[in-house]
Structure 1
Amino acid sequence: MICLLAGTKVVPLLAGAITLAWTHSVEKVLWEEDWRSGPAGLELVEARVRGSGAGMEPPPEAEFSNGVWKWHPKVPLLREVVLRRSGATADWQICKEGRCQPMSDLVPPDVDPVVMQPCAGP
Structure 2
Amino acid sequence: MVRLGAAFTLAWTHSVQKSDWQEDWRATPDGLVVVEMRVEGSGAGMEPPEGAVLEGGRYVARPQAAPLKEVMLRRSGATADWRICIDGRCRAMGDMIPADADPVTLALCPDVPG
TM category, shorter:
over 0.9
Q: Is there any run of 5+ residues in structure 1 with no aligned partner, and where?
A: 1-9
Match of 1:115 in 2: 105
4+ aligned runs moved over 6 Å, structure 1 = none
Q: How does 1:100-111 map to 2 (within 5 A)?
A: 100-111=90-101
CA–CA distance in 1 between the matches of 2:50 and 2:102? 33
Which of 2, 21, 36 is the equivalent residue of 1:11? 2
Tell me which residue corresponds to 1:91.
81
Identical residues among aligned pairs (%)? 55
Give a deviation string over 1:64-91, Cα, whole Å, max 9, x none: 0110100012321100000100111110
- What is the Cα-based RMSD across aligned positions, in Å? 1.0
Provide the C-alpha distance between the structure 2 equivalents of 1:43 and 1:59, rounded to a whole number of angstroms: 16
How far does the alpha carbon of each residue in 1:78-110 deviate from its partner, in whole angstroms, 9 at most, with x for none?
000001001111100000000000001111010
Matched, 1:53 2:43: yes
TM normalised by structure 2 equals 0.94
Residue 120 (structure 1) shift: 2.6
Q: Of 11, 31, 36, which aligns to 1:41?
A: 31
Name the structure with the higher strand share: 1
Q: Which runs of 5+ in 2 are unaligned?
A: none
CA–CA distance in structure 1, aligned partners of residues 88 and 69 of structure 2? 25
Count of matched residue pairs: 112
Tell me the SS of whatever aligns to 2:42: coil
Deviation at 1:41, TM superposition (A): 0.3
TM-score normalized with structure 1 length: 0.88
